[in-house]
Amino acid sequence: MLAERFGGRNSRLLKGIGDDTSVSSQKGGAALLATTDILIENTHFKRAYIPPYLLGRKALSISLSDIAAMGGEPLFFLVSLALTPGTPKKFIDELYRGLGDVARETGCVLAGGNTAKAGMEMTVSTTVIGEAPVKRVVYRKGAAAGDLVFVTGTVGGSALGLKALLSHDGLALKRVPWKDSVKKHLDPAPRLKAGQALAKAELATAMMDISDGVALDLKRMCIESRRSAVVYLSSLPISDELKAYGEKTGKSPFLDFALTGGEDYELLFTSPEKNLRKISALSRKLNLPMTPVGRIMGRKKDRVITVLDEDGEPMELKKLGFEHF
Amino acid sequence: MLAERFGGRNSRLLKGIGDDTSVSSQKGGAALLATTDILIENTHFKRAYIPPYLLGRKALSISLSDIAAMGGEPLFFLVSLALTPGTPKKFIDELYRGLGDVARETGCVLAGGNTAKAGMEMTVSTTVIGEAPVKRVVYRKGAAAGDLVFVTGTVGGSALGLKALLSHDGLALKRVPWKDSVKKHLDPAPRLKAGQALAKAELATAMMDISDGVALDLKRMCIESRRSAVVYLSSLPISDELKAYGEKTGKSPFLDFALTGGEDYELLFTSPEKNLRKISALSRKLNLPMTPVGRIMGRKKDRVITVLDEDGEPMELKKLGFEHF
């Protein structure tokens, strides 16, 4: 069944669907990247608001985002579906259509999978295998004191989108306000080209994707790099829509969304200040903002992340970010 | 947290836990194997009868069984856990201890994973990456007319074990009867050595693991190989315990269990008759029965699998095997 839906081919994949495991050829000298994610109904999504097509897209995109964060190129993916009884065939078809479209867009080929029966909650588990030249893989651990901290695109939009979806329960998707943010939440774009270009040009000393908010993920990067960091709150790049939301509601789009909101799937990376011009050029070339938002400092025992407000004063934060668990 | 629990190392793994993806080196000329499985509470197991330690063992073993079925060697694994609220720390510790023990026993190193919150049902999703020399990978598709069909170990035990567990709901595990079969169900042994030895000696023309019963899985192998097969019902190797169960209850241990019972995780393979002596020698060396149970025939449009009873008469079967979904 699966084999018919996914016509994609990859000369490296010797055998995909239809055997006990996928079989692919290896390239000596290249690093193999492997990552797995699981999306659970009612924890990570509700069927009430995410169309199955977008659920399929998102399930693959979030794993591809991890490959992007290493500067890698995706090769193939495996998917495990656990479906609740009575799930309509149309739903499953749409979910696979979403997986298939992202697969085609990114050159990532379906190599295997299985379907099982769930009781109350559906789950979609994806594994993506990718690769990169060994010496160009970008880890979380390479941030050096003095490096600038960058983020791609805009942040906080996904959190606004989720909020809009949850507070308009039952409304048809096209009638939910804050559409760009809703799209950002439901259909995040893995930053594969940006990650690969940064790695290839050796511009990123450390890199990861932002899944749980800039503050929390930067903290994780600092811990791996044994460094600390400052973040300039009002430097965080936000969308026009999030800005408008802030103005309309009086809430801080920076503090409540951009700094601590989850699931943006943008890239967070560090680079020495001397690369600023090259990064600007790359950003223009890719038509993707790459905004400096902070700086890496020396190792610190506590308060790994310091957030400075508009006056340059350190802020007291209740929480750093979004944690599913 | 995960990194501390799993001390295992593998020189091929350049980076495991603690980054966006695992990073490993590739070996040019070798085939890369990748497989994923998902165990869902109340579909694949009930917490009432499986101790968390054995759940951890089983989650990894069933994916390793897929690697075994290709004749491969495991390299590393990824795990996604979705835990229901209030799952005790002890439960999680025990689950990881089970994963860790199987990992050590088989030389398969933890390379990554994540933990998420589930609502009503826990799920454990495992991905195993392995490899094998390209020319020695054994697929499902190589069975030739005239080949004998073999199974390793004994079959049907897991189904008896499950039946015993379900019909002694609430009884402490050690008091549930049919202990060997219960162990077979809860803690199946992936046949890695047998799979590797068969592949290395080029004794298997086709191979797969038996997860849904001999009849159904042999049908799948025949479809991939574009062949049909006959199975001699009473040749199916059963344990002394399953034999005793049959005698005690009057049920056929062959028909109700060995032929159609699920989750044995033994190997099903085909080999030309001339290899019989070599296979016997290998079986003795590994101390693992390898029993001829049927023969591959030419391509057939319908009735891909014919089961012959003790008198050599074809049987009418209501169902071929066990299907989760």
**If we measure between CA atoms, which residue out of B12, B8, B7 comes closest to residue B22?**
B12
| End-to-end CA gap in chain A | 35
Q: And the tokens for B180?
A: 């060997």
The set of residues, in sequence order, having a beta carbon less than 8 Å from that of A303 and lying 6+ positions away, is: A228
Plot region of A34 (φ>0 → left; ψ -120 to 50 → alpha; else → beta): beta
B6 confidence band (pLDDT: 50, 70, 90): low
pLDDT of A29 reads 84
**ipTM summary value:** 0.91
Which of B118, B130, B134 is the closest to A25 by Cβ?
Answer: B134
User: B33 touching A, CB under 8 A?
Assistant: yes
Predicted local confidence at residue B325, as pLDDT: 35
Candidates A1, A36, A75, A198, partner chain B, best to mutate (most B CBs within 10 A): A36
Domain residue spans in chain A?
2-135, 148-308
A20 and B44 within 8 Å at the Cβ level: the answer is no
Are the C-beta atoms of residues A43 and B118 closer than 8 Å to each other?
yes
Contacts of residue A40 in chain B, CB cutoff 8 Å? 82, 116-119, 123
Chain A CA closest to residue B40:
A118
Amino acid occupying residue A191 = R
pLDDT band at B261 (very low <50, low <70, confident <90, very high): very high
Contacts of A240 (CB under 8 A, 6+ apart): none
Directed axis angle between helix A52-69 and helix A192-200, to 10°? 10
Q: What is the CATH number of domain A2-135?
A: 3.30.1330.10
CB atoms A33 and B23 under 8 Å: yes
Statement: residue B324 has pLDDT above 60 = no
User: By percentage, how much of chain B surpasses pLDDT 70?
Assistant: 96
Contacting B residues, span 168-227, partner chain A, CB-CB under 8 Å:
208-209, 224
Arithmetic mean of pLDDT, B25-37 = 92
Pairwise CA distance, residues B51 & B185, whole Å: 12
Task: Please give the distance of CA A160 from its chain centroid, rounded to a whole number.
Answer: 16
Percent of the residues in chain B that have a pLDDT greater than 90, as a whole number: 85
Yes or no: say if A264 and A188 are a contact pair by the CB < 8 Å rule. Answer: yes
pTM (2 decimals)? 0.93
Please check whether residue B64 touches A, CB under 8 A: no
Question: Does pLDDT of B67 surpass 70?
Answer: yes
Q: Are strands B228-232 and B305-308 parallel, antiparallel or unpaired?
A: parallel
Hey, are the CB atoms on A123 and B38 less than 8 Å from each other? yes
- Which CATH class, in words, describes the domain spanning B2-134? alpha beta
Task: Tell me: pLDDT of B303 over 70.
Answer: yes
The DSSP 8-state label assigned to residue B190 in this structure reads: P
Structure tokens that stand for A14 in this block: 């010797």
- The pLDDT assigned to B5 comes to 61
Select from B17, B36, B70 the residue whose CB has the most chain A CBs within 10 Å, as the one to mutate to test that interface.
B36
What residue ranges of chain A have pLDDT lower than 70?
1-9, 321-325
Size of interface A-B (CB pairs under 8 A): 229
pLDDT tens profile A69-78: 999 999 999 9
CA distance A36 to B17: 12
The superfamily in CATH containing domain B148-308 is: PurM-like C-terminal domain (3.90.650.10)
User: Residue A324's pLDDT is what?
Assistant: 43
The letter for the amino acid at B215 is A
Whether A147 contacts A272, CB under 8 Å: yes
Distance CA B36, CA B38 (A): 7
Closest CB to B116: pick one of A139, A140, A325.
A325
The pLDDT tens digits of the residues spanning B79-131 come to: 999 999 999 999 999 999 999 999 999 999 999 888 999 989 999 999 999 99
B22 touches chain A (CB under 8 A): yes
Q: What's the pLDDT score for residue A302?
A: 82
Are the Cβ atoms of B33 and A22 closer than 8 angstroms?
yes
Which of A31, A37, A111 has its CB closest to that of B34?
A111
What's the CA gap between B237 and B291, in Å, rounded? 7
- Tell me if B19 and A112 make a contact (CB, 8 A cut-off): no
Spatial neighbors of B126 by CB under 8 A, at least 6 apart, are B36, B37, B38, B39, B59, B60, B62, B63, B77, B78, B79
